[in-house]
Amino acid sequence: MKKFLIVGLGNIGEKYAKTRHNIGFQILDALAKDQDVRFETEKLGDITRFRYKGKSFILLKPSTFMNLSGKAVKYWMTKEKIQLDNICIVTDDKNIDFGAIRIKTKGSAGGHNGLKDIQEKLQTQQYNRFRFGIGENYSKGRQIDFVLGSWSKEEQSQLIERIPVATKAIVSFGTDGINNTMNLFNGK
């Protein structure tokens, strides 16, 4: 059975739970709920698993904090014997309009410290990444406050529609392949 490791990036702790930077955790939580599975704390993160259309999905929310995510990704990739092509990192991106999805098979970290650490630990930029746009609605010099800030009421109401699109894209990655998924969901 083909296995996929889906890693949602975020920071652990209640103070970060509903922040823009934790959209990776939020998307994985929604997918776990859709599949009626629960996360359990294991080494370097919270893990859950489900099967869908003959594929095995392992969802990981690293407990290493965002900037050290690579350690958890490398550990679980090795432990589960998952090929690099079958990994997808779900993260926020301030350079993309709010709610838009951009899926890529490679690229730079784009200033994202979690992705920088993953690239350093995996020794490559050639891994699948799923970027969820959080927009750039902040004043100069206020980037950290914005990224680590809570969603606005308007954003929260729009997330109700956007997160299900994101979970469908993740399942599509495993069932339909990365290229079809990019064609179906990029820019949506």
Nearest to 60 by CA among 50, 52, 48: 48
**In 52-62, which positions are buried (b, 16+ CB within 10 angstroms) versus exposed (e)?**
eeebbbbbbbb
| Cα angle 28, 124, 185; round to 5 | 40
By the 10 Å C-beta count (0-12 exposed, 13-18 middle, 19+ buried), 154 is classed as exposed
Q: Does residue 112 have an active-site annotation? A: no
Residue that the structure tokens 């995996």 belong to: 122
Nearest to 81 by CA among 2, 13, 12: 2
Of 21, 61, 102, 112, which one is the catalytic site residue?
A: 21
Which residues participate in catalysis according to the annotation? 21
